Amino acid sequence: MTIFRTLLAIGVAAGVSAASAAQAQTLRWSSQGDIATMDPYAHTESFTSNMHHHIYDPLVRRDRNMQIEPALATSWRVVAPDRWRFSLRRDVKFHDGSPFTADDVVASIARLLDPTARARGNLANVTAAEKVDDFTVDFVLRGPYPLLLNDLSGIFIMSRSWMARNDALKPGNITTGTTTYASTNANGTGPFKLETYQPDSRTVMVVNDAWWDKPQHNLKRIEFRPIRSDATRVAALLSGELDMIAPAPLQDLARIGQAAGFKVVEEPSLRLIFLGMNWRPELIAEPGKKNPLLDLRVRQALWHAVDLDTIQRRIMRGKSRTVGSLVAPPVPGYSADLDKPLAFDPDRAKALLTAAGYPNGFKVGLACPNDRYIADEQTCVAIAAMWTRIGVQVDLKIESRTTYFPRVDRGETDMYMLGWATLPPMDTYSVLSAIFASRRGTFGGNNPNGMAVPRLDALADAAGTELDETKRRAMLAESLKIARDEALFIPIHQQPVAWAMRNSLEVPVFADEYVRLWFANLK
């Protein structure tokens, strides 16, 4: 009997310790929404890229200090102004065991450069990747280009043989709805392997023991579950069902911080939230009438009508920073002089509307996601109320990011909310080329509503090939000045990164909001 008891005790103890060891290395976390797709080239959403980064590696990546360091490429040099040569890492294996070679890079870049790829604009200045030998690749550019490495830090390399085998050599596209085998499956070289991907439900990754780099994390398994409701997400964390939530709702930071065993980490994000506009001849909300937004005074009136300080104090609970420009201070091209919003002045706004010929206002659509940015829905309802007060009728439409972003991309919105963190390059050029420039070739990927300013197009072309950093920054600053002077967008705020996690978890916080779990340690 005693022996039996002892054996039982040992058995139970062993079982418990085995279970807790396995538990300790499983990280369970949640965000507001799910990734858009598994296909790295089918989207331009940074959260989706963030998740892919665990499975796929880029040629170069950001280190703990956000500096660029070698990843799948070990070194590079400029052999001609329009040709960069990359040496590739040897002895790297994809998750399916096939070796990584120059063919994979060439096939990946060809897939990304395909005109139907949604992420085509992320490598706007590259025209081709050419194989030199098995471990050397040349990137051919449109001309001299200063940001190639920045761009490449967000381009994930896929396996050629795997794509060929699964008929996925052509890219998917979340805007057009094109899907391939790669939209739901993944085979990268990254620190984690995809185990299951159930859209809007669960994504599970397991550690890749054959990773080429020395792991700086101690995880065996990552379980991700999107939970849209703020309260449910917080409850899941506090009840021990999750180890981390990112983002943590601002209204709950104080309470989580006080709870035993949990901590909140905060940092200003690079992400700026702003409203884009419809530039077509007619608004969707008022077909058959001239689009009032084409008048500068109307755009300024809408800007003057938004009480940014109250949004900052009440909705963002003082955690955000009110902005007047479209990039955050650490981003090259930022200028503090431009970072001043138009003053909140409803009377001025009404006067401007009257001067523009809309004394009784007009009708405009406002579209927003409810699970992408911090307090996005609340912010939009508040702005709709503020505009209504100057006589503008607002047709408010709030929906989940999975339907919202494709709708915005298709140009089916009047005013729409967008957040931009200048990723992957972390440079104002990302705003200039993707949002300011009109849609032509690889430019204007996020300019869905026909905005066309010739000077901005010229600046996009020029800054893309300018190697003199002073001149280049002057061009970037000029583009931001035009955007502000012409009120092309209504900037709202720079949102904070606020994550909440168990005390036993260490994850560095980055301004680009990337959750880099390859730096995570669970005690």
Residues that bind another protein in the complex, under the rule CB under 8 A: 228-231, 234-235, 249, 251-252, 254-255, 284-285, 307, 310-311, 314-315, 365, 370, 377-378, 381-382, 384-385, 388-389, 394-398, 407, 412
- Minimum distance from CB of 311 to another protein (Å)? 7
Kindly list the distances between the CA atom of residue 52 and the CA atoms of 49, 183, 467, in Å, as whole numbers in the listed order. 5, 11, 31
Residue nearer to another protein on the CB measure, 96 or 309: 309
User: What distance in Å separates the CA atoms of residue 436 and residue 433, rounded to the nearest whole number?
Assistant: 6
Q: Which residues pair with 156 in a beta bridge?
A: 58
Nearer to another protein by C-beta: 61 or 397? 397
Nearer residue to another protein within complex by CB, 186 or 308: 308
Helices (H) and strands (E) in the chain, counts: 15, 19
First-to-final CA distance of the chain: 37
Nearer to another protein, 36 or 386 (CB): 386
Bridge partners, residue 491, by sequence:
274
CA dihedral sign, ordered 323, 329, 332, 333: positive
Distance in Å, CB of 321 to another protein, minimum: 18
Beta carbon of residue 373, minimum distance to another protein (angstroms, whole number): 15
Residue number, 163 or 394, with CB nearest to another protein: 394
CB of 312 to another protein, least distance (A): 10
Q: How far is the CB of 42 from another protein (least distance, A)?
A: 22
**Closest distance of CB 253 from another protein, Å:** 9
231/467 with CB nearer another protein: 231
3-class DSSP assignment, residue 186: coil
CB of 232 to another protein, least distance (A): 8
Instruction: Please report how many Cα atoms fall inside a 13 Å half-sphere around the Cα of residue 119, on the Cβ side.
Output: 30
- C-beta of 387: minimal distance to another protein in Å? 9
Q: How far is the CB of 318 from another protein (least distance, A)?
A: 13
Least distance to another protein, CB of residue 304, Å: 16
Q: How far is the CB of 48 from another protein (least distance, A)?
A: 22
**Quick check: bond before 247 cis, omega within 30?**
yes
Residue type at 38 in one-letter notation: M
Considering only CA atoms, which of 314, 281, 505, 275 is closest in space to residue 394? 275
Based on CB atoms, which residue is closest to another protein, 42 or 285? 285
Lookup: tokens for 116: 């139907």
Q: How many CB atoms lie within 10 A of CB 113?
A: 18
205 is written with which tokens?
């990754």
Closer to another protein by Cβ: residue 53 or 319: 319
Nearer of residues 285 and 437 to another protein, judged by Cβ: 285
Residue 390 near residue 350, CB atoms below 8 Å: yes
Within 170-280, strands assigned E span: 192-198, 202-207, 221-226, 244-245, 262-276
Nearer to another protein, 66 or 264 (CB): 264
- What 346-351 contacts at long range (C-beta under 8 Å, 24+ apart), as own/partner pairs, is 346/304, 346/305, 346/386, 346/389, 346/390, 348/301, 348/304, 349/300, 349/301, 349/302, 349/304, 349/305, 349/390, 350/301, 350/390, 350/391
DSSP lists the bridge partners of residue 379 as: none
Cβ atoms 2, 369 nearer than 8 A: no
Query: Nearer Cβ to another protein, position 32 or 122?
Result: 32
Nearest to 299 by CA among 153, 109, 146, 491: 491
